[in-house]
């Protein structure tokens, strides 16, 4: 390939591809993400699973692998055949010097080798390498590559520090002062840079300024973190005091422990955080406790700033925990719904640690053990925010002495202090000085200095409570023309109007503060604020908020933005909103006083229509053979999300999953029983496939009760059937059987043939799991007969494959073939590719047991081809194991081992224990 035809891949800035002087047309975040993932590993295979992970956060859509294949195909159209197919994935057929990351790394490595003999040349080589950077690395790709972008940014900064160090060694002190000053301003707590600036100033004859730099960092560390500078920086300070120009300043950075995902779950820190110096010092003191499990319990009244303190401190010390930070809001005192169950919180942590769903056990004790195993030996910070009590916290505590846990709660958590050795950090109301600092950080010291008496009044009227002070400051910032004295007068005038809100402290009257802020809102924002209390939380999307208000998205967005500016609402994610539980309680009270029952009920109806109709559309996209529910038309003003494909459907379901049980409970509590069971039924398939079985069980229990209360027998039967499916996955077969038998009885009373068939099919799964193969076969046959009588072809296909599988277990292999061939035809007719893949696998088992090895191999290969397209990793591994068994039975041991080795790779990716069993087979001597 000539120079003009040579491709160059640029990742150090916006992701681009160039051929000679021409930039090639590659666009779209997903396409750029696949390209970046391949270009980060030139010449090395990248699995399709890794490419899926590079594109989609959290649980990918079922079509993810198929979409990756399409994305690669489009890239080939733009770049030519530079992307090669290899076993299990793709590779970019390029040299490291065709990727700017490779050029950069190579240049820095060369500079380091040169530094021993020619530090000036090494420094110049670094400056040349840094010219490759055109902006933040990996710009324009999905957030899934954030960790890679962070790694590259850290590499760049480390190279900058190395180059400066070699420049200092070459004697370029004076010139480097100008370069270091802005770097230290940008990274004030990066002690290596600070030390280099001190050294450059000292060697330039500016020792006084060097000592001033040290004074500033020492004060900042003390104020922000209650820390002293590191030992090397202290030694440099002492050397400058002694006029020792030979002092050195490199400060080693902590390295992450190897292995595992590195989650960064901390929400944004509160802007303008001030005060709490003694608590910060106490928290920082915990960092020195080694060899024991360290727990800090921050407790105090509502709105006192527990979360703000925990997040501010956590962000300041995050670099001390290079293996990551975990965070969960346990919603212990949320008026909008029950506290988060420990199993749900642990599941979120295991997802963040990238533990596959297939490996997560059903029971809380087993999940907690797996969670502790994942954290063993790792340095991680775990923040458990807004805990209800010690019982909610205990299962979430890591067992590793290298981890530190911060818990916030209104409860004193005495049980943790006594039994777990937690360090209690009580948080009281702010002192007058702290409150003044908070107002000054938001309004500026000049404005406060002009009206000192008014500032005192505002602090007293806000009860020294950080939440109330923040709202007060927001009101003052939004009304710069008003004097602080006038604002204090307005607040004083409404103190007696609303006293219904009890924050658990008789000295705190938040009703006045909230009312005062609420009265400044425009009509649309005020109405939105009231209606948000009707949402069950913890977060609400723009579309759901628009449905509550019965307005268009842009109008809803304007109202929500006004609430955010007034500090009555936060925006934790793009187009997702939340507020403090005290504000939720106040908005609910206000809605009760200002909106009649008919208005509130209509808003809830629209909101429930949004969730039901969007969830049902999503369910049909991710699994086309799903049965359609007879939904009523949505109310005027309800906003139904327009989901283009299964990818968008999966993303919506993933984002809204935390609210599933609360929506069902809200519907049931408001008398919308049909919405409750239909919504629960719509999200069931997602929960099954994503592995959220405990949450599915909780949601279906609400649905069963709601349908029963409404006298809706069909809804009750449907919900009992889904409840049974959840319990099968949880391996609680006795309870699953009881639920399914109740569903079957109702189905028979209703004459619902499809419902009876589905209940029997699931009862067959229970019987199979319990080892009752003849009973399972009988139930499968009964299910097939009912599906056939109802003319339900997708159900017939499922039942026929189940019958075929059970016949293989009973040794009836010829009969199994006949059932599975018919199942295959029906699966193809209804477009169920998952069912088709499963049936090819069953056919392979039947042919293998008949000794028809060539036919078995062909069937397994067909199943594997579909599993690859669908991204079904665990079924693919199972089929590979069986394919290996067939090759071994046919005498081809080498082919068998190839299959088993490929299966081991997949099982290792899933952290599945069967991988070790398969390794044992591979290690066994062949005959």
- Residue-wise DSSP of 807-820: HHHTT-HHHHHHHH
Band (259; pLDDT cuts 50, 70, 90): very low
- The yes-or-no verdict on residue 260 having pLDDT over 70 is no
Q: What does the pLDDT average to over 724-753?
A: 93
Weakest-pLDDT range from 63-67, 269-273, 276-280: 269-273
> Residue 456 has what pLDDT?
92
- The yes-or-no verdict on residue 874 having pLDDT over 90 is no
pLDDT digits 0-9 by tens, 414-430: 778 776 778 888 888 78
> Residue 69 has what pLDDT?
85
- The yes-or-no verdict on residue 349 having pLDDT over 70 is yes
Band (258; pLDDT cuts 50, 70, 90): very low
- The yes-or-no verdict on residue 500 having pLDDT over 60 is no
Sign of CA dihedral 635, 639, 645, 646: negative
> Residue 244 has what pLDDT?
66
What is the CATH number assigned to the segment(s) 523-595? 1.10.10.10
Q: Which two tokens stand for residue 161?
A: 């520090």
Band (1; pLDDT cuts 50, 70, 90): very low
Band (495; pLDDT cuts 50, 70, 90): very low
pLDDT digits 0-9 by tens, 555-591: 999 999 888 876 678 777 778 888 766 677 788 888 8
Q: What does the pLDDT average to over 706-724?
A: 94
Q: What does the pLDDT average to over 748-756?
A: 94
Band (24; pLDDT cuts 50, 70, 90): confident
> Residue 603 has what pLDDT?
96
Weakest-pLDDT range from 509-523, 542-556, 753-767: 509-523
- The yes-or-no verdict on residue 46 having pLDDT over 90 is no
CATH superfamily of 801-927: Tetratricopeptide repeat domain (1.25.40.10)
Band (253; pLDDT cuts 50, 70, 90): very low
- The yes-or-no verdict on residue 613 having pLDDT over 60 is yes
- Between 315 and 760, the higher pLDDT residue: 760
Band (61; pLDDT cuts 50, 70, 90): confident
CA distance 571 to 136: 24
> Residue 231 has what pLDDT?
65
CA distance 610 to 637: 9
Weakest-pLDDT range from 375-389, 716-730, 851-865: 375-389
- The yes-or-no verdict on residue 405 having pLDDT over 80 is yes
> Residue 779 has what pLDDT?
94
First to last CA, the chain: 50
Q: What does the pLDDT average to over 284-308?
A: 78
pLDDT digits 0-9 by tens, 888-899: 999 999 999 999
> Residue 760 has what pLDDT?
95
CB 41 within 8 A of CB 93: no
Q: What residues contact 821, with CB distance under 8 A and at least 6 apart? A: 843
Q: What does the pLDDT average to over 165-174?
A: 86
Band (878; pLDDT cuts 50, 70, 90): confident
Weakest-pLDDT range from 240-249, 558-567, 779-788: 240-249
Q: What does the pLDDT average to over 437-464?
A: 88
Q: What does the pLDDT average to over 254-279?
A: 70
Domain 174-253 coded CATH 1.25.40.10: yes
The highest-confidence range among 100-109, 435-444, 465-474, by mean pLDDT, is 435-444
Asked if domains 281-316+326-426 and 801-927 share a fold, the reply is no
Band (703; pLDDT cuts 50, 70, 90): very high
CA distance 809 to 294: 52
Band (248; pLDDT cuts 50, 70, 90): very low
- Closest by CA to 407, choosing from 392, 386, 429, is 386
268 Ramachandran zone, left/alpha/beta (phi>0; psi -120 to 50): beta
Q: What residues contact 183, with CB distance under 8 A and at least 6 apart? A: 160, 193, 197
Strands (E), 371-489: 381-387, 404-409, 423-426
DSSP 14: B
Cα-only R_g, the chain: 31
Length of the chain: 927
CB 241 within 8 A of CB 207: no
Q: What residues contact 876, with CB distance under 8 A and at least 6 apart? A: 864, 867, 868, 906
Architecture of the domain whose range is 281-316+326-426: 3-Layer(aba) Sandwich (3.40)
As a whole number, the mean pLDDT across the chain is 84
- Between 476 and 800, the higher pLDDT residue: 800
Q: Which two tokens stand for residue 1?
A: 């390939």
Q: What does the pLDDT average to over 506-517?
A: 57
637 Ramachandran zone, left/alpha/beta (phi>0; psi -120 to 50): left
Kindly report the backbone phi and psi dihedral angles of residue 572, in degrees, each rounded to the nearest multiple of 5, phi listed first: -70, -20
- Closest by CA to 313, choosing from 207, 249, 407, is 407
CATH topology of domain 1-171: Arc Repressor Mutant, subunit A (1.10.10)
> Residue 784 has what pLDDT?
95
| Domain locations along the chain | 1-171, 174-253, 281-316+326-426, 432-494, 523-595, 801-927
């Amino acid at each position: 390939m000539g120079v003009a035809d040579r491709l160059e891949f640029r990742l150090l800035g916006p992701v681009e591809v160039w051929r000679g002087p021409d930039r090639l047309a590659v666009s779209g975040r997903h396409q750029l993400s696949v390209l970046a993932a391949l270009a980060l590993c030139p010449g090395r295979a990248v699995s399709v699973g890794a490419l899926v992970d590079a594109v989609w956060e959290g649980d990918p859509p079922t079509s993810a692998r198929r979409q990756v294949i399409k994305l690669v195909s489009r890239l080939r159209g733009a770049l030519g055949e530079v992307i090669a197919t290899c076993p299990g994935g793709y590779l970019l057929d390029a040299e490291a010097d065709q990727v700017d990351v490779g050029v950069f790394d190579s240049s820095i490595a060369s500079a380091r080798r040169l530094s021993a003999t020619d530090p000036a040349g090494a420094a110049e080589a670094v400056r040349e390498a840094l010219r490759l950077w055109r902006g933040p690395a990996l710009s324009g790709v999905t957030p899934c590559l954030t960790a890679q972008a962070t790694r590259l940014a850290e590499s760049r900064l480390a190279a900058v520090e190395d180059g400066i160090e070699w420049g200092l060694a070459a004697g370029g002190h004076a010139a480097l002062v100008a370069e270091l000053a802005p770097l230290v301003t940008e990274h004030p707590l990066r002690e290596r840079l600070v030390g280099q600036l001190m050294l450059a100033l000292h060697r330039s004859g500016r020792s006084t300024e060097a000592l001033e730099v040290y004074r500033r960092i020492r004060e900042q560390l003390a104020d922000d973190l209650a820390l002293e500078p590191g030992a090397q920086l202290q030694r440099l300070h002492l050397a400058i005091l002694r006029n020792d120009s030979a002092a050195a300043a490199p400060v080693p950075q902590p390295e992450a422990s190897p292995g595992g995902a590195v989650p960064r779950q901390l929400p944004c820190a509160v802007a303008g955080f001030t005060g709490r110096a003694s608590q910060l010092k106490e928290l920082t003191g915990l960092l020195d406790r080694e060899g024991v499990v360290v727990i800090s319990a921050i407790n105090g009244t509502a709105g006192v700033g527990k979360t703000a303190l925990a997040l501010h401190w956590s962000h300041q010390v995050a670099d001390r925990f290079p293996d990551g930070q975990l965070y969960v809001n346990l919603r212990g005192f949320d008026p909008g719904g029950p506290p988060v169950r420990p199993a749900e919180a642990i599941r979120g942590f295991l997802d963040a640690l990238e533990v596959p769903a297939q490996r997560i056990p059903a029971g809380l004790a087993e999940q907690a053990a797996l969670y502790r195993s994942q954290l063993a030996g790792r340095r991680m910070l775990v923040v458990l925010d807004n805990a209800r009590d010690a019982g909610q916290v205990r299962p979430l505590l890591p067992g590793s002495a290298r981890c530190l846990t911060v818990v916030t709660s209104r409860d004193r958590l005495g049980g943790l202090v006594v039994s777990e050795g937690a360090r209690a950090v009580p948080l009281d109301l702010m002192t007058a000085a702290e409150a003044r600092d908070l107002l000054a950080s938001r309004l500026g010291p000049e404005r406060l200095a002009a009206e000192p008496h008014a500032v005192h009044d505002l602090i007293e009227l806000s009860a020294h409570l950080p939440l109330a002070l923040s709202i007060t400051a927001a009101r003052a910032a939004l009304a710069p023309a008003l004097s602080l004295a006038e604002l204090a007068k307005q607040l004083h005038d409404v103190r007696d109007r609303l006293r219904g809100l009890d924050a658990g402290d008789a000295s705190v009257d938040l009703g006045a503060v909230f009312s005062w802020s609420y009265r400044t809102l425009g009509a649309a924002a005020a109405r939105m604020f009231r209606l948000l209390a009707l949402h069950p939380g913890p977060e609400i999307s723009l579309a759901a908020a628009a449905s509550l208000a019965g307005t268009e998205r842009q109008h809803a967005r304007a109202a929500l933005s006004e609430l955010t500016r007034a500090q009555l609402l936060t925006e934790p994610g793009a187009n997702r909103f939340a507020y403090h539980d005290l504000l939720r309680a106040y908005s609910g009270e206000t809605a009760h006083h200002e909106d009649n029952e008919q208005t509130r009920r209509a808003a809830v109806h629209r909101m429930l229509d949004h969730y039901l109709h969007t969830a049902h559309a999503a369910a049909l996209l991710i699994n086309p053979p799903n049965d359609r529910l007879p939904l009523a038309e949505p109310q005027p003003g309800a906003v139904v999300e327009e989901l283009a494909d299964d990818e968008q459907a999966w993303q919506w379901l993933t984002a809204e999953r935390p609210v599933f049980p609360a929506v069902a409970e809200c519907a049931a509590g408001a008398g919308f029983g049909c919405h409750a069971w239909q919504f629960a039924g719509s999200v069931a398939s997602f929960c099954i496939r994503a592995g959220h079985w405990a949450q599915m069980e909780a949601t279906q229990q609400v649905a069963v009760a709601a349908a029963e209360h409404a006298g809706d027998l069909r809804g009750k039967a449907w919900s009992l059937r889904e409840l049974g499916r959840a319990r099968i996955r949880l391996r609680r077969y006795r309870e699953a059987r009881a639920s399914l038998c109740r569903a079957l009885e109702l189905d028979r009373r209703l004459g619902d043939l499809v419902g009876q068939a589905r209940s029997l099919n699931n009862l067959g799964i229970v019987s199979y799991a319990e080892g009752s193969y003849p009973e399972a076969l009988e139930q499968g046959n009964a299910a097939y007969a009912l599906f056939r009588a109802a003319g339900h072809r997708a159900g017939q296909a499922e039942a026929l494959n189940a019958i075929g599988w059970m016949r293989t277990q009973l040794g009836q292999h010829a009969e199994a073939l006949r059932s599975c061939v018919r199942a295959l035809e029906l699966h193809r007719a209804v477009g169920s590719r998952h069912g088709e893949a499963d049936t090819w696998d069953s056919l392979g088992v039947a042919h293998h047991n008949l000794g028809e090895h060539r036919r078995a191999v062909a069937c397994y290969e067909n199943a594997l081809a579909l599993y690859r397209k669908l991204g079904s990793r665990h079924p693919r591994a199972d089929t590979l194991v069986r394919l290996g068994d067939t090759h071994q039975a046919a005498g081809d041991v080498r082919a068998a081992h190839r299959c088993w080795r490929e299966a081991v790779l997949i099982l290792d990716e899933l952290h599945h224990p069967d991988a070790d069993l398969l390794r044992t087979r591979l290690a066994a001597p062949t005959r």
